[in-house]
Amino acid sequence: MGGIHSSLAAWAVSSRGPLRMEERELIRRAQGGDLPAFEQLVRGWRDQVFRIARQIVGDEEGAKDVAQMVFIRLWQGLGRYREGGSFAAYLHRITVNLAIDFHRQQARRHPTDSWDPVALDQIPSRPQDPNASLAPGEVQRVFRVLSARLTPRQRAVFVLREIEEVSTEDVAEILGMRQSTVRNHVLEARRILREGLARLFPEYARGQEGREK
């Protein structure tokens, strides 16, 4: 549960939202139909929901749409949420499922290979100075290109475990798989991303190496 706790702590610190004790009260009030309380919950969680959706869906507008659907679905399902269960895991499960569905729909409508030359043209210019820090938007675009080679499940596992630092146990619960499967997905996703990074963005890899020295 360390990942969930750390994500809740990060949320409490970074979101200008209420602390965790207050969160329980907000959930109780929202379960009773209190929309202002639910709005505070949305404000507290929207950044993380958006981040997870963005890494799975691949674009910001789509992720925003998914985040909107997530909170509507959360409102409808709040009555089924029982205190004592992990609210974060409950919310992450909704987020991942809706984001994967959205991504599959988009993929059916616009089947493209993000590693093709046209898609690669959209990548930002490579850094001239290997020690220069990459803007967050550039890292985002690199991840978008490389993660296109991951299956939706691999991508979801990598995003939750390696980016959002949710524990393996919680990722397994969220995605309904065994912890060993989660670990295998992480290993495979890391291998694919590492190969892609070395092949397509060697300058970025060198830049990171330079920064770490």
Partner 1 sequence: MNDPRDPSAYFRSLRESNPKEEFWIGFWPSVRAGIREADLTRRPILTRTGALLLGSFAGVMVAAAVLVLGFLVVPALRVHPVPSSPGEAAVPEAMTRAEEAARPPVMEDLSPATARVYTFHVGERADGTDVILIVDESIDI
- For partner 1, the binding residues (CB under 8 A) are 14, 35, 39, 42-43, 46-47, 50-51, 55, 60, 64, 67-69, 71-72, 75-76, 136-137, 139-140, 143, 146, 158, 162-165, 189-190, 193-194, 197-198, 204-206, 208-209, 212
CB nearer to partner 1: pick between 23 and 161: 161
CB nearer to partner 1: pick between 142 and 175: 142
Q: Are 90 and 75 a contacting pair, CB within 8 Å?
A: no
CB nearer to partner 1: pick between 25 and 209: 209
Tell the smallest beta-carbon distance from residue 104 to partner 1 (Å): 21
Separation CA 146–CA 155 (nearest Å): 10
Tell the smallest beta-carbon distance from residue 51 to partner 1 (Å): 7
Tell the smallest beta-carbon distance from residue 47 to partner 1 (Å): 4
CB nearer to partner 1: pick between 110 and 181: 181
CB nearer to partner 1: pick between 164 and 173: 164
Tell the smallest beta-carbon distance from residue 48 to partner 1 (Å): 9
- Sequence letter at residue 144: R
Between CA 12 and CA 48, with CA 46 as vertex, the angle to 5 degrees is 70
Tell the smallest beta-carbon distance from residue 159 to partner 1 (Å): 8
SS3 letters across the chain:
CHHHHHHHHHHHHHCCCCCHHHHHHHHHHHHCCCHHHHHHHHHHHHHHHHHHHHHHHCCHHHHHHHHHHHHHHHHHHHHHCCECECHHHHHHHHHHHHHHHHHHHHHHHCCCCCCCHHHHHCCCCCCCCCCCCCCHHHHHHHHHHHHHHCCHHHHHHHHHHHHCCCCHHHHHHHHCCCHHHHHHHHHHHHHHHHHHHHHHCHHHHHHHHHHHC
Tell the smallest beta-carbon distance from residue 46 to partner 1 (Å): 7
Separation CA 134–CA 201 (nearest Å): 12
CB nearer to partner 1: pick between 34 and 84: 34
